[in-house]
Structure 1
Amino acid sequence: MEILGLQLMGEPAEQGQLLLLSSHNPYLVLLAGLVAFAACLATLHLVERAGNADRATSKTVWRWIAVGCLASGIWAMHFICILAFTHPAAPRYSLGTAIGALLMTLIAAIAVVQALHSTTYWRSRHQLLKLVLCIGAAAAMLSIQLTSMPTLTDPLADSSGSTHWQLALAVAVVVLLLIGSSASAALVDKKLQHKEHDLRRVNALLSQLDQARASLQQVAHYDPLTNLINRRGFNQLFAEKLSDCAARNSKLAVMFLDIDHFKRINDSLGHDAGDELLKTIAARIKHSTRSHNDVVARFGGDEFCILINLNHRDEAQSMAQRIMLKLKEPIELSGRQMVMTTSIGISVFPDDGASSAELLKHADLALYQSKGSGRNNLNFFSSNLKTRASLELQLEEELRSALNEDKELFLQYQPIFDLKNGRVTKLEALVRWQHPEHGLLGPERFISIAEANGLIAELDHWVLRKACHDLAALSLKGWQHLGVAVNCSARNLVRVELADEIESALRSSGIAAHRLELEVTENALMCNLSSTSQLLRQIRTLGVSLSIDDFGTGYSSLAYLKRLPLNTLKIDRSFIQDIPTSSQDMEIVQAIIVMAHTLHLQVVTEGVETTQQFEFLNQYGCDFIQGYLISRPVSFEVLQETLEGLNKSPVPVPDHATFIPVSQ
């Protein structure tokens, strides 16, 4: 009979049919099982490799290799199992049947591999589970093969086992080598693919790092609002341009720009509107430069800086003027037409410095000069500015020392004459500095330094305490009716601690609150009207009087006069000095007096120096006068003597003097 390609033949016995005893060689069966297990395990790895391959061609190649491994393993197992089958008959092989069995095995292997490849279940299992599955599959295939061997009849001559062993080992070795080579190739290819993936991942990370570096470079060197170079990027380009100009022996201009009164935009329209305005200003400045060689940077806030290469110094002035004109063009902002101006300071390499730090400092000094001379202006650096800056730095240090040690500073007092009562009823406290080197300095010399360097609050507090102390000393000498007026700077008027400091000074000196008057300027009131109004009401609640100093030189608006808790209005000396020769000034003063009285405010006129001015003010109802006609400012040591002299000989009012009303 024919079984799986092995032809078993025998002659019938005399009695009819004889039973042929057969058995299996256990070692060859074990060898067949090993081959089957290796084939299954390699097939799973190859199918997994096909599933993880990147290219379609690679997937197809690994699937066919898996088919070959499984088919060769099944066939080798089948062949070895036949060789393991021992019987008395001599086996004979049928080539056609063997080829048919091989083709069926190949078809089965294709089906199995395709089924495994179509699902990710087996590719995602644990390795131990794969081993168990492969052992089970090999055992199942081996059991089917062994149980398919039928019982043979008709005994034949015993066949030799040594030949079967050699053939089985040869087939097993060849097939195992084939399977092992395929599995090894899959493992090597997997490692190569992992390395390729790692390389791609590294390249992707490097690309991300390059993008991140570029982003950081953008953030580090460019202003995010205006997209201009920031201070850090500017300094880097500045150093490069300086080196280039030094090598070519050419000139380089540094321009510092500051937008005039920009803070008002943020305070009135909000910071979003301020940002939009800065974008527009930056674009206009950039548009006003000559080429990409000119560097425009935003240093922060409303400060900009420009670097331009020069052939002549006049080129810098021309560009600065062009920028100033460009910025004066109306800007649409929050439904309003805004017109902005700028102050510019310019320094030139190599005339004004050799290093970037020196040139920037000198351009900043020139900018300070432009702002100090009325803004909307440009100035070049000069050596005088450096000398002045050095002197102001020295004065700042010495002023700080004078405040800390309570020396050199003192107060002078100028009497304020009450025209209705005919006597001095108030004093204005005026700070002076007896400098050991520069002599007597008035407030116009050091107040701005104190404001610029954060000393003004301490200075105002010193004046307040000193004035209250001196007034208390005068009260002990019989001058209980006198009041004192002290000035408050714009920088100090926004401090919420001011009311507490005033209350503390009054309490420590023991004088009544109504005897103290706080003088503020119009511009100081308008810097931040809402918060200023609240602070002034808090001070007014203490009982302290409030006065507007230098009225007429600022905004002069009736609207804020109605909103603020004021007591007194002080007309600036600039309206008095040309009376009676200037009819226009006479009309202005008369109108101010009428307006103030309408608002129930008392009027003080400062700068009165002639009897004609005195007569005019007395005729038109001015309440108080102050000036050299009454008395110059005097020190506290001679103040009592001055007051006594004024009480004995008040300023005479001529009976014959009659002014014709200016309206006529």
Structure 2
Amino acid sequence: MEWLGLQLFADLPATGRIVIDCRHEPFLVLLAYLVACAACFATLDMAERQSHSEDPTAHRQWNMLGACCLAGGIWAMHFISMLAFQAPVEVHYDASLTILSLLIALAVAWLAMHSLDRSQMRTHHYLQSAVLIGLGIILMHFVGMAALETGARQYYQTGLLLASATIALLTSLTALCLARYFRHGSGTLHHAMKYGASLLMAGGIVATHFTAMSALTLVIPADTALRLPSGDNSLQLALGIGFITLLISAASISTALADKKLQSKEHDLRRVSVLLSQLDQARASLQQAAHYDALTNLVNRRGFNQVFAERLAEHQATQSHLAVMFLDIDHFKRINDSLGHDAGDELLKVIASHIKAATRNHDLVARFGGDEFCVVTSLNNRDEARHLAQRIMQRMKEPIDLGGRRMVMTTSIGISIFPDDGTTAEELLKHADLALYQSKGNGRNSLNFFNDSLKTQASIALQLEEELRVALLEEHGLCVHYQPIFDLRSRQVAKLEALVRWRHPQHGLLGPDRFIAIAEANGLIIDLDLWVLRHACADLAYLQRHGHGNLKVTVNCSAVTLSHDELPNEVEKALFHAGLAPWQLELEVTENALMGDIQRTVNLLKRVRAQGVALSIDDFGTGYSSLAYLKRLPLDVLKIDRSFLQDVPGSQKDREIVQAIIVMAHTLHLQVVSEGVENAEQLAFLEAHGCDYLQGYLLGRPEPLAELRSLLERLEHQGGLFSPCCDTAQPVSPDLFADTPGLRAGASTVRQGH
């Protein structure tokens, strides 16, 4: 087959002269290989820059520059290799075909760079591109060979020709894979591997050319005269082309290196900019976290202190009024206990929005933690502070839907005014807190302004706290009084309720209402309860040794003590040291004390009851316990609160309630004690409806141990408090207690019991 004067896939002619003295100049062959290496390395750099370029214009420019480097390198390698070819004939080159071969090289290089520009390359993409590029290289080679004019015809051996084409295809495929691989990466190893890849790719291109040259045989036709070579400028031309190509490749590599450094600096600047931006965001986040509450987005205590100090400084300069309000959500703990902390958090968000909506834009609203909030507002007179507080309280009463329930919350508020109630932040906050404590003590859902009496009360409470600690530590001043509880069946004193008192050196005899709350607030209540337990057991043992062996003693147990894991052990120790049987002790707990961790409470009470100690639920009906809980508790006695007996027998509703409680208790196999019995009509009503035990001022007041003993002896001498008769038992004349201090009927119903 003849193509452009080339004899492809054709046998040598029978006539003609074969040119056999053909060789290649080694130096020029080496130069061609170096040119190809430089071009391949530059092409890999251009492919890398092309993949890292973000600007579309720069992307196209790197694409074109890479194509020019690759095309120039391949074509220069081919042309220098042609100049390295030496034969004993005159050699000329056709300019048009030489330029055409260069254009073909450009087209092949553009196709290669375009293939590398794909975002994803699959196997068929690699194969398709490799075939096109390989065929293009072969086409460029033979067009360049067609430009060789020697006067002889070019014949090519079929096997070597196919081998050259195969090498071209494999070289193209390898070059595509290497170029795709080296588009990403950095470091010394990456560059070393890229140098090796350039040598490999250049070797493939050179091998393609010289394999095709090996297939070449020059045959001078018989009728053609042999033209010997004249002047030879191949070396100069090859050096010129090689120098220009190497210069272009070096310039391209330098440009790529400079762009890489510039882009690296740009990336560093962007990274620094991003880091600075992230640092600003982190600083803002830290500022937000440090000064704002994450849950409600209100100012927290730290932020409040800073802003409040600034506000206070401004008002000190102008001597204008400023109000500080402490808010506490009433019974918020019940929400957490019943619905969970997640529901409590959602409720706090709604409450915070209600408070914020009720205040003005310039008011400072903060959350101190838990359900405590604080509002600071400028005002002209105290009425403005009252109106703002009332507006907050009214807004708080709006129904809130939470966890499928519709509820209404209330708040207690304490207010202090600058400069009337203090001139420093510490004073104003402390005085607002005292006013809040007053609001909570008055039944909650109220507001109170600070006054000097609150400060006096706080000082007295602090003094009492310190003295109570000393009294417990030294066991000096505290004492136990006992109120008798009568058995309606035997008409005898069956139990004694132990009630703590404090003989204060300045304030006289103090009832528990003066110091129990202080003990609970300051962690002294457990020690106080256990002190009463030990002394009550010791006093009962004393009475037992003096002939009163059938009595039991009942001891009150606070909610805090009830959660004390060591309570069963303490009960066991108190009984052991006093020498009492467990049946002689009864622990009284209130409804609300039972309603904390109900499962833990049940387990603890079962441990106590397993010792043989009786358990009583006190003040029944005044708490918020469930009857479902009541039947789970290991109880023995139920005490009806005095509030249900006050209007008996005059009030029909109260009579029915008391009757229902007695019936319910007996159904649950519980004995019933009714406290607050103050007249004979109440006594007769309770006896008629099956009450088991009675307690009240009609029957006996709380007395110290010495006076109690004389009372018990008189009762035994008289045969009991009641005289039996056929119809209704009548109480013995109060003259029985004429010589016993404090035993007077009709006394105040305020029970000084713990």
Report the TM-score, using the length of structure 2 for normalisation.
0.72
* TM-superposed deviation, 1:392: 2.2
Aligned partners of 1:133 and 1:110: how far apart in 2? 18
Kindly indicate whether residue 359 of structure 2 is the aligned counterpart of residue 301 of structure 1: no
- Is the 8 Å Cα contact of residues 638 and 665 (structure 2) preserved in structure 1? no
Which of 117, 121, 124 is residue 177 of structure 2 equivalent to? Answer: 121
- For 2:397, the equivalent position in structure 1 comes to 328
Aligned partners of 1:658 and 1:642: how far apart in 2? 19
* TM-superposed deviation, 1:534: 6.4
Which of 551, 569, 574 is residue 639 of structure 2 equivalent to? Answer: 569
- For 2:537, the equivalent position in structure 1 comes to 468
AA in 2 matched with 1:342? T
- For 1:662, the equivalent position in structure 2 comes to none
1:142-291 equivalences in 2 (<5 Å): 144=212, 150=218, 165-215=235-285, 217-289=287-359, 291=360
* Between 473-482 and 194-203, the greater mean CA deviation after superposition: 194-203
Kindly indicate whether residue 650 of structure 2 is the aligned counterpart of residue 584 of structure 1: yes
Task: Give 3-state SS (helix, strand or coil) of 2:558's partner.
Answer: coil
Distance 1:87 1:482, change over 3 A: closer
- Is the 8 Å Cα contact of residues 642 and 676 (structure 2) preserved in structure 1? yes
Aligned partners of 1:168 and 1:553: how far apart in 2? 113
Kindly indicate whether residue 486 of structure 2 is the aligned counterpart of residue 489 of structure 1: no
Aligned partners of 1:84 and 1:562: how far apart in 2? 111
- Is the 8 Å Cα contact of residues 417 and 626 (structure 1) preserved in structure 2? yes
- Is the 8 Å Cα contact of residues 81 and 145 (structure 1) preserved in structure 2? no
AA in 2 matched with 1:260? D
AA in 2 matched with 1:350? P
- For 2:62, the equivalent position in structure 1 comes to 62
AA in 1 matched with 2:468? L
* Between 226-235 and 620-629, the greater mean CA deviation after superposition: 620-629
Aligned partners of 2:403 and 2:660: how far apart in 1? 38
- For 1:105, the equivalent position in structure 2 comes to 102
- For 2:662, the equivalent position in structure 1 comes to 596
- Is the 8 Å Cα contact of residues 18 and 218 (structure 2) preserved in structure 1? no
Distance 1:154 1:349, change over 3 A: farther
Task: Give 3-state SS (helix, strand or coil) of 2:559's partner.
Answer: coil
Aligned partners of 2:209 and 2:44: how far apart in 1? 16
Distance 1:299 1:657, change over 3 A: same
Aligned partners of 2:483 and 2:469: how far apart in 1? 26
Aligned partners of 1:438 and 1:225: how far apart in 2? 47
Kindly indicate whether residue 585 of structure 2 is the aligned counterpart of residue 516 of structure 1: yes
Task: Give 3-state SS (helix, strand or coil) of 2:373's partner.
Answer: strand
- For 2:162, the equivalent position in structure 1 comes to none
Kindly indicate whether residue 46 of structure 2 is the aligned counterpart of residue 39 of structure 1: no
Distance 1:250 1:137, change over 3 A: farther
Task: Tell me how many residue pairs correspond in the alignment.
Answer: 633
- Is the 8 Å Cα contact of residues 573 and 607 (structure 1) preserved in structure 2? no
Distance 1:18 1:70, change over 3 A: closer
- Is the 8 Å Cα contact of residues 87 and 159 (structure 1) preserved in structure 2? no
Aligned partners of 2:89 and 2:330: how far apart in 1? 119
Aligned partners of 2:638 and 2:45: how far apart in 1? 100
- For 2:456, the equivalent position in structure 1 comes to 387
- Is the 8 Å Cα contact of residues 413 and 448 (structure 2) preserved in structure 1? yes
- For 2:387, the equivalent position in structure 1 comes to 318
Aligned partners of 2:411 and 2:309: how far apart in 1? 26
- For 1:378, the equivalent position in structure 2 comes to 447
- Is the 8 Å Cα contact of residues 400 and 408 (structure 2) preserved in structure 1? yes
- Is the 8 Å Cα contact of residues 327 and 341 (structure 1) preserved in structure 2? yes
- For 1:141, the equivalent position in structure 2 comes to 209
* TM-superposed deviation, 1:270: 4.3
- Is the 8 Å Cα contact of residues 522 and 554 (structure 1) preserved in structure 2? yes
Distance 1:332 1:17, change over 3 A: closer
Task: Give 3-state SS (helix, strand or coil) of 1:293's partner.
Answer: coil
* TM-superposed deviation, 1:276: 4.0
AA in 2 matched with 1:131? L
Task: Give 3-state SS (helix, strand or coil) of 2:547's partner.
Answer: coil
Distance 1:413 1:189, change over 3 A: same
Where do 5+ consecutive residues of structure 1 fail to align? Answer: 6-15, 660-664
- Is the 8 Å Cα contact of residues 251 and 310 (structure 1) preserved in structure 2? yes
Task: Give 3-state SS (helix, strand or coil) of 2:548's partner.
Answer: coil
* TM-superposed deviation, 1:132: 1.9
